Amino acid sequence: MPLPDPHQQAKTPFIYLNNAATSWPKPPEVIAEVTRCLSQPFAEAGRSAFFSAPDYPAETRELLAEFFSAEHPDRWVFTANATDSLNTLIHGFARRNDALFHVVTTDLEHNSVLRPLHALERDGCLSYTVVPSDPDGRVDPCSIKKAVRPETRLVVMTHGSNVLGTVQDIRTVGEYLAVNDIFFVVDGSQTAGLVLLDLSQVSLDAFVFTGHKALYGMPGTGGFWIRDPTRVAITREGGTGTDSRTLSHPAGMPERFEAGTPNYPGIASLYAGLRFINRTGIDAIGAHDRTLTHLFTRELAGHRNIRLYSSDPDLPVISFNIAGIPPDDAGYILSRAYRIITRTGLHCAPLVHERIDNGTGCIRVSPGYFTTMDECRKAITAICEVADSADP
Ligand SMILES: Cc1ncc(COP(=O)(O)O)c(C=O)c1O
């Protein structure tokens, strides 16, 4: 089967600007690797005597460990997505800390952080404080410090905002928390694959990633890295292919957090996605994204009816509203009249919208590595035409 050329795919009669939700198109090698994976019997480490290359879970853990400079590939866990990772970590941490404890988080968080915290608060397990971001979309590390109380045991914070495209200073936050022995979980869903992160240089306890955004894997992939697995209780038991005689779920890594049959094709897509980034270079990807992002912010900032919510995003995430046109309507016009795919609404991050747009939601455009300048210029023209027609 000939594989689609991403540049040809990008010439389809629509312009895809929703990479912050899920990247598209996928690199050809990702599609090839998934096809290869599905074309052969799975090599199940520990469960079958037959091995065919590659052992996707083992090799992908090695790639992740190298990519993020974190020793011990076994501390990389595969999950269904970032949401699954955050649930595993937050609920598992809560189970390890049975006294009512306090958590600090931020108003930039996705519901995959906010909802587990809310559910645990409702059940009387914890209380939490939400630290607001500043008008530039950044959380001042000092405000995290100020929110910490004697009973604070956990801080959960996004590395990159999926609404404002701002990258947070997790290094400074991590240094302070490490000294105070506060468990630090970072949600890297928007940064993994876009921002070079050296986990040997940052004091954090768990780093969450999703596979289907800038790591170019399939939807339904993700995982986390954990420094000390014993700090998080096992919340899901099942088959691991190891220690099958005992009815207690194995405590060793990575089985501790991986029960049941792995998503082999998904992990194969991640394997190929990481190799694609290594081959292309994260710097080249970042440079391309920055050029496109600046083009959008420069052109849209000048329009009288457009309000940008982040004038200088670090990530290719540009959020705005058009005065007089509700965001869902603007998105509908862009998709129907111009065949431009954006994302509108609250982007599953409700708290930040209370600050930036009174909770109405906004339009988000997120170009990716395969987005061309020409596509961005067409999109800018379309957005400006819609804004010209607005009656604020
Ligand atoms: C910041 C952030 N956290 C978490 C998630 C959830 O990711 P997943 O779809 O892998 O569960 C997203 C996805 O939109 C996100 O942007």
The amino acid that residue 125 corresponds to is C
pLDDT, one tens digit per residue, over 142-156 is 999 999 999 999 999
Same domain, residue pair 182 and 311: no
Same domain, residue pair 225 and 163: yes
**CB of 189 sitting under 6 A from ligand 1:** yes
Same domain, residue pair 10 and 41: no
Same domain, residue pair 151 and 69: yes
Same domain, residue pair 260 and 139: yes
The pLDDT value recorded for residue 392 is: 81
Query: What is the domain-level CATH number for residue 71?
Result: 3.40.640.10
- The model's pTM is 0.95
Same domain, residue pair 329 and 229: no
pLDDT, mean of residues 314-338: 97
Residue 189: partners with Cβ closer than 8 Å, 6 or more residues away: 82, 110, 112, 158, 160, 162, 208, 209, 210, 213, 222
Same domain, residue pair 192 and 318: no
Whole-number Å distance, alpha carbon 84 to ligand 1 midpoint, is 10
Instruction: Examine the pLDDT at 9 and tell me if it is beyond 70.
Output: no
pLDDT, mean of residues 77-98: 96
Residues of the chain with pLDDT > 90: what percent? Answer: 90
pLDDT, mean of residues 195-199: 96
* Atom from ligand 1 closest to the CA of residue 108: 1
**CB of 22 sitting under 6 A from ligand 1:** no
Instruction: Examine the pLDDT at 48 and tell me if it is beyond 80.
Output: no
Which residue CA neighbors atom 12 of ligand 1 most closely? 189
Give the pair of three-digit tokens for residue 283.
């710097």
The pLDDT value recorded for residue 4 is: 58
Instruction: Examine the pLDDT at 10 and tell me if it is beyond 80.
Output: no
Domain assignment present for residue 222? The answer is yes
Say if residues 303 and 149 touch (Cβ distance below 8 Å). no
Provide the residue range defining the domain that includes 198.
28-279
Residue with tokens 């959008």: 296
Compute the C-alpha angle 266/188/320, nearest 5°: 105
Radius of gyration of the chain (CA): 21
Same domain, residue pair 153 and 220: yes
Under the banding of pLDDT at 50, 70 and 90, the label for residue 11 is: low
- Long-range contact set of residues 93-100: C-beta below 8 Å, sequence gap at least 24: 93/153, 93/154, 93/183, 93/185, 93/231, 93/232, 93/233, 94/120, 94/125, 94/126, 95/233, 95/235, 96/231, 96/232, 96/233, 97/153, 97/154, 99/151, 100/124, 100/125, 100/126, 100/127, 100/151
The pLDDT value recorded for residue 50 is: 53
The preferred substitution site among 190, 208, 270 for testing ligand 1, maximizing ligand atoms within 8 Å of CB, is 190
Domain assignment present for residue 262? The answer is yes
Domain edge (last residue) among 260, 279, 298:
279
Under the banding of pLDDT at 50, 70 and 90, the label for residue 51 is: low
The pLDDT value recorded for residue 8 is: 59
Rounded Cα gap, residues 23 and 140, in angstroms:
30
Whole-number Å distance, alpha carbon 114 to ligand 1 midpoint, is 12
* Atom from ligand 1 closest to the CA of residue 187: 3
Same domain, residue pair 224 and 345: no
Domain edge (last residue) among 257, 279, 301:
279
Q: Which residue has the higher pLDDT, 71 or 373?
A: 373
Same domain, residue pair 261 and 327: no
pLDDT, mean of residues 275-293: 98
The pLDDT value recorded for residue 41 is: 81
Q: What is the mean pLDDT of the chain?
A: 94
The pLDDT value recorded for residue 13 is: 81
pLDDT, one tens digit per residue, over 12-23 is 689 999 999 999
pLDDT, mean of residues 157-169: 98
Instruction: Examine the pLDDT at 45 and tell me if it is beyond 70.
Output: no
The amino acid that residue 333 corresponds to is I
Under the banding of pLDDT at 50, 70 and 90, the label for residue 54 is: confident
Number of domains in the chain: 2
Query: What is the domain-level CATH number for residue 369?
Result: 3.90.1150.10
Rounded Cα gap, residues 127 and 148, in angstroms:
12
Domain assignment present for residue 1? The answer is no
Same domain, residue pair 333 and 287: yes
**CB of 85 sitting under 6 A from ligand 1:** no
Under the banding of pLDDT at 50, 70 and 90, the label for residue 98 is: confident
Distance in angstroms between the alpha carbons of the first and the last residue of the chain: 51
The amino acid that residue 217 corresponds to is G
Same domain, residue pair 363 and 375: yes
pLDDT, one tens digit per residue, over 108-121 is 999 999 999 999 99
What are the phi and psi torsion angles at 209 (to 5°)?
Answer: -135, 155
Give the pair of three-digit tokens for residue 250.
């194995």
Under the banding of pLDDT at 50, 70 and 90, the label for residue 5 is: low
